[in-house]
Structure 1
Amino acid sequence: MGQTWTKLLFPDHSIPKTSIPNPCTACGWTPERQNNCRYESHVKLFYGVSDRGVWSLGSNMILKERLDTAPNFEARNIRLLEQETSIPRPTIIEDWVEENQRSFILMRRVRGEPLSRLWKDMSPDQRESIARQTAECLMQLRKLQSPQMHSVEGQPLYSAFLFRNGYGLPHGPLASDDELWAEMDLALKDITEDARLRLRERMPPATPYTFTHGDLTYVNIMVQDGRLTGILDWEAAGYFPVWWEFTCAGIGLSQEDKEWKDLLRRFMPDHTAAREFWMDYYSLSKYPDLDESGRALLGNGVSGSHGQE
């Protein structure tokens, strides 16, 4: 092959290496390669955060890549749902871990759009319909119970909201209310013993330990033509206190997400007392940066301050 053809076919070779931008970390291409190629990729990296990314493989497949560290139970959780429920969810095609400890999950795409894209244009009746359909699916989870609190296959639980002593930390398995409280109490080590004991008295029984999604943000709810088509993101699901699904469905990540979760809780089994207990626990866990609610809790002996919220 002559030098002229080499430059035509591989134009990057004619560019001084010092002037070539660093290649894309996702695909390895430089702008020069893109400009000199008619190929337009239909493999797209559409989500990335921390150590993970999610690729769209055309219109039918999704590929998730992440570091193989817990909580990474999504494939196993989805297979459990496939065996035990009719809840719409992604379908796992294959999952594997490479020698470099990178974990991959290839799954079939759930049809529809995230509720987050549709919410503002939906009527009250349409919103209520999706909430009812989602709550009906969650009732199937109420039947999945365990003698201990744990993730799938006896692994620890992970929840930075239920356990406020740090992010990404393992907890359990746990087999009693006392064990649950001991883990939650780690976040209250600077709170007076009297205040902690009073709060402990208000913690509702955790049994039956129930399979729980734990992240029902409207980003994870897929909708098409007014029907729920899938619930996404099961990687940290596990057997939690029976009241935890209702309680964490009160944690809104935006005003619209809060509206969605407020509506969803209307159709879920009511655990308002547990939610009020947890909200007070959450307020105290921020010590010494207490807000007005947290300061009031310490001042009144933690008798409860969220009953009207």
Structure 2
Amino acid sequence: MKICLPIISLLLISCLANAQNSAVLGDKFAQGKLENYLENAKSLKESQAFFEPVKNAKENCLVLNKDTIAVFKPIPIKEDLKYKLSFMVRAETKETIEENPRLALILLGRGSWLPCRDITFFDAEMKPLGRRSHYDGCLPFGTWFNFIDVFYPLPKAAFMQLSFQTRKDSKLFIRDISLSPSPDEGSINTNPSFSLGKYNYSGWPSKHTDGRLLERPDGRVIFDTGYGSGSESFPISPGKHRLYAKGSTYGGYQEIIFFFMDNNGKEISKTGMNSTPEGIQKEFMVPDGAVRGRFLIYNNVLDELRLTRVGENPK
């Protein structure tokens, strides 16, 4: 019993710490103090960042004035788990997407002008592994917009840290941030049918300059990859897998390339195919030593791109 009590105590402390970290991105800022959420709270002036009540809602929002960076406290994660980050955001800028719908296309090619949302990943010793910058995650909507990001952490990641940055001509209002395991999308890769919306590039951090999400007349969203758009990397396991692609091709060179990589990101081998309007599938065995994979796609307009283990049918 004397041996078990310290172990139980450590487990309780760990659980309490995880619960506290989860509250950083899950309690709608109910605590009302910046220092309970932001790692850099002490370095911010009162005029730069503060909480205010949301009109007609029983919650607070975080207000970031121009030229401000808000860095949230790190929270624990698992590297092989797919996550869903969601938050409500609106902006005060000279022009909004509601006023000019083409503004999104213009600004996505000029990311440094936009407010930015970053996710930085750390290993178990809190050494930085890299970050993902998302200018499309803070597009200037004048009314509340529900943004969702589905993603995998970087290899060896044990913690993640969320941050927001405004520019000289922008002011952000952020509320209802939450992080949870992603619901089943029927695929290993993220956002397989682009159903998260025409402004949501989840899973595709490396878009070609001409890469665009487009909305068809029937409301469905498709992805024009341009000449070389790259997906994030994601975990894969040994065994037989099925790649399903539905869409069309154009241009002189078209290909969907899937890279197999080891845990250090080194390419082991690759396979390829192209989408068709009827949908096409290809089965393959994961080579020895491969633990992650990613896509690089040229000149495909995709309705759907879905990687599953054999036995799981494309939806």
TM-score range, shorter chain: under 0.3
Determine which structure has the larger strand proportion and give its number.
2
Determine which structure has the larger helix proportion and give its number.
1
State TM-score, norm by structure 1: 0.27
